[in-house]
Amino acid sequence: MKAFNSLLTSLLLLMSFQNESFAHTKSVSYSSWDIQEEEIVVNFTVSSREITKLTEYKVNYPNLNESLKSHLIQKIYSEQIDSEPLVTVLNTDSGTTGLSLKFDAGRTEKYIFNVNLFFNQIPGHIHYAKVNHHSGQKRTLVLNENNHQIILSTKASEVMDQGSFDSFKQYIGLGFTHILEGIDHLLFLLALLILCKSLKSLIFAATGFTIGHSLTLALAASNIVIPQVNIIESLIGWTIILASIESFNIPNHELRKIQSGIFVTVITLIALSLFGVTELETGFILGLGLLTLAILRLSEDAEQSEKLRPMLAAIFGTIHGFGFANILSEISLDRTNFLVSLLGFNMGVEIGQILVLVMMWALMSFLVTIILKKNMKKITELVSSILCSIGLYWFLTRLLG
């Protein structure tokens, strides 16, 4: 059981260095811009943790609201507006801080706002701005250090309708950005790549994954199914574990021991749930246990597992689809062009996914040519152990945190 020794070692190392870069900890902020004929109201929210990274926080410590206010007044401005905005505190969720900025408007029909917030002090920061015009037009913008201008018009006659194609391009960018920044999704793709022995097998598995996440992304974005965010995020970690474990080539008799241990664990957790000792739902415990046992049982037959891999990838894809939907719920999917926006976001995810898989496959093919196959197997087993450890860490911290 050398693979599990590696798993234990890497897990202990991972727990010793709880770096923020592992989970969904990308630096993000959000705003809504309500455009009226005589005023522009900007409601800005961000994680309180991000404010502590600002220079203004050192001056206003420990006042988060004053720190954010000082930053926003300097970084959100328009040359067409001379006076400072009226700033009020917003009621936000725990762990976040929000302010409302009200700008006087009406003297000119077009305003160019520079929104250079957080970008200089937090590399890679992304800002999602939702613009609502009083005439009914809506659009969502993605700002970064290279693109941080918002052009607004207060007059309905000057507002150009955001066409379907513009919305489509916008959401392609959102989907592409999300998959490239979603490290847990990328690590799952890496685990899938290690499992697949041929390019054909990888294409079939990736197709299954695409079908699965496209389905649940559409269901969640349409509000037909509303998943619990912490449950979905933890399950994404579990999919990495299950996708990695087959690479260990564990003997069948050892797999059966693991299955027995999981069965006992599931029964124990269900009993604790029924007696109110744990907050975990009985259905969640049972479903997760059955899924794990089924995949472990399937791993006993390598040939059958290979044939059913596209189906398994589709099952995992349904979980990741809900994860993709979380970003849409945060930025509010453009309902005026719902289907086009949803298609664009999904295509953006697919373009990013294909790009990542092609690069990974090319790198692995190159490594195989310069590294003996025997050594390559050891490397992939080590990588799988690390992936499994990270998946377990995410599963536990997201579920219990």
Whether residues 272 and 374 share a domain: the answer is yes
* Residue 301 near residue 317, CB atoms below 8 Å: no
**Which pLDDT band, with edges at 50, 70 and 90, does 86 fall under?**
very high
Whether residues 157 and 188 share a domain: the answer is no
- Residue 345 CB neighbour total at 10 angstroms: 28
> Which stretch of DSSP H or E encloses residue 144?
none
Residue 286 has pLDDT above 90, yes or no: no
State the Cα torsion 279-281-285-287 to the nearest 10°: -160
- pLDDT, residue 33, reads 92
Mean pLDDT computed over every residue of the chain: 81
Q: Does any domain span residue 172?
A: no
Last residue of a domain, one of 161, 193, 228: 161
Q: Give residue 297's identity as a one-letter amino acid code.
A: R
Cα separation, 136 vs 159, in Å, equals 10
Residue 16 has pLDDT above 60, yes or no: no
Last residue of a domain, one of 99, 126, 161: 161
State the Cα torsion 305-311-313-319 to the nearest 10°: -130
- Mean pLDDT for 93-113 is 87
Number of structural domains (the chain) is: 2
* Residue 357 near residue 206, CB atoms below 8 Å: yes
Residue 5 has pLDDT above 70, yes or no: no
φ, ψ at 24 (rounded to 5°): -75, 75
Whether residues 84 and 229 share a domain: the answer is no
Q: Does any domain span residue 194?
A: yes
Whether residues 19 and 32 share a domain: the answer is no
- pLDDT, residue 302, reads 78
- pLDDT, residue 13, reads 45
Structure tokens at 361: 């496959």
Residue 44 has pLDDT above 90, yes or no: yes
- pLDDT, residue 164, reads 62
Identify the domain containing residue 228 by its residue range: 2-23+182-400
H helices, E strands: number in the chain: 13, 9
Sheet with 110-115: list strands edge to edge.
76-78, 110-115, 149-153
Least confident of 73-82, 202-211, 271-280, 285-294: 271-280
Q: Does any domain span residue 169?
A: no
335 or 99: whose pLDDT is higher? Answer: 99
Q: Does any domain span residue 170?
A: no
Whether residues 17 and 154 share a domain: the answer is no
Q: Does any domain span residue 390?
A: yes
pLDDT (tens digit, 9 = 90+) per residue, 293-320?
A: 888 888 888 788 888 888 888 888 888 9
φ, ψ at 145 (rounded to 5°): -65, -20
- Mean pLDDT for 339-360 is 87
- pLDDT, residue 155, reads 65
pLDDT (tens digit, 9 = 90+) per residue, 382-401?
A: 888 889 888 888 888 888 76
Whether residues 274 and 352 share a domain: the answer is yes
CA distances to 30, 46, 243, 319, 357 from 194, in Å: 37, 37, 9, 20, 11
CA distances to 4, 276, 279, 396, 401 from 272, in Å: 28, 6, 9, 17, 19
Cα separation, 395 vs 384, in Å, equals 16
258 or 63: whose pLDDT is higher? Answer: 63
Residue 80 burial (C-beta neighbours within 10 Å; 0-12, 13-18, 19+): middle
- Mean pLDDT for 150-161 is 62
